[in-house]
Amino acid sequence: MNTNDELILSEIDEHKICTITFNNPKSLNALSVEVLGELKRALLRISEQDVLGVILTGAGEKAFVAGADIKEMLTMGNEDASRFSLLGQEVTLLMESLSCPVIACVNGFALGGGLEMALGADFIYCSKNAVFGLPEVKLGLIPGFGGTQRLARVVGRNIAREMIYTGKNLNSEEAKSIGLVNQVFETKEELINGATKVLLKMQKNSIFAIGRAKQATVGGVDLELSKGLKLESDVFAGLFDSYDAKEGTAAFADKRPAAFQHMKGE
């Protein structure tokens, strides 16, 4: 069992869904070097385990992650800040590299680094009280954990620039209206239950294939179309010798449910 003094809690349930929780509600789950280090280690462990889905959330009702630890940032010079930024970016890249779906479940504030952590997931669900923003320019800074790059890829260049330049916050419905959030739930409990139901529904499909679809979509987003199509073709063709592809196509022909092995490629 996890102890309550851990900054990152990680628990895998009987459905092989791992819930990762930012666990410092007294500081609104602020991101420090220590927190990011713990999150990195949790993600590395997951990459080596038989996990079929991940929920990323924050402890308490007030915040998913309210931002970076400003007190810690006050002591940083340029070199320290560079290491901090690269660590935050490394964590989000680890989320993208996981071969299973990751849903960020945002309750309360997801500001600055909090929004950047959520953007590292495959998509975002939130509770009605969620608040999103990248307010770094109000501190004389800019987003450093991927916000200047990922937000535009999700909501479009002009909306992202407006959010970053003004530092304004969005409520849950505003976030949904621009495509930042996929679904809004009334309460945190409904939010977690909703994400769990979606991940369980995905398990009726091949998580192995979903992982390869993730590889193609994440890897192709920055490529010109012809190169992106080549990546898609390579990933598509590479699935045909896998157990799940053989099982899935045979099950369709036999008009029966498929019995996927998910994480086992062969």
**Do 51 and 40 contact (CB within 8 A), yes or no?**
no
Geometric angle at alpha carbon 121, from 92 and 145, rounded to 5°: 30
Is residue 204 classed as helix, strand or coil in its secondary structure? coil
Is residue 217 classed as helix, strand or coil in its secondary structure? helix
Whether the CA torsion 5, 86, 171, 43 is positive or negative: it is negative
Assess whether 136 carries a catalytic annotation: yes
| Cα Dmax for the chain | 64
Choose the catalytic residue: 136, 186, 190, 266.
136
Q: In what order do the strands lie in the sheet with 131-133?
A: 63-65, 109-111, 131-133, 169-171
Assess whether 14 carries a catalytic annotation: no
Q: Report the alpha-carbon distance of residue 151 to residue 187 in Å, rounded.
A: 25
Which residues touch 129 (CB under 8 Å, ≥6 apart)? 61, 107, 108, 172
Geometric angle at alpha carbon 209, from 204 and 210, rounded to 5°: 75
Whether the CA torsion 225, 229, 230, 231 is positive or negative: it is positive
Q: Which residues pair with 106 in a beta bridge?
A: 126
Choose the catalytic residue: 116, 173, 186, 189.
116
Indicate which residues carry an active-site annotation: 116, 136
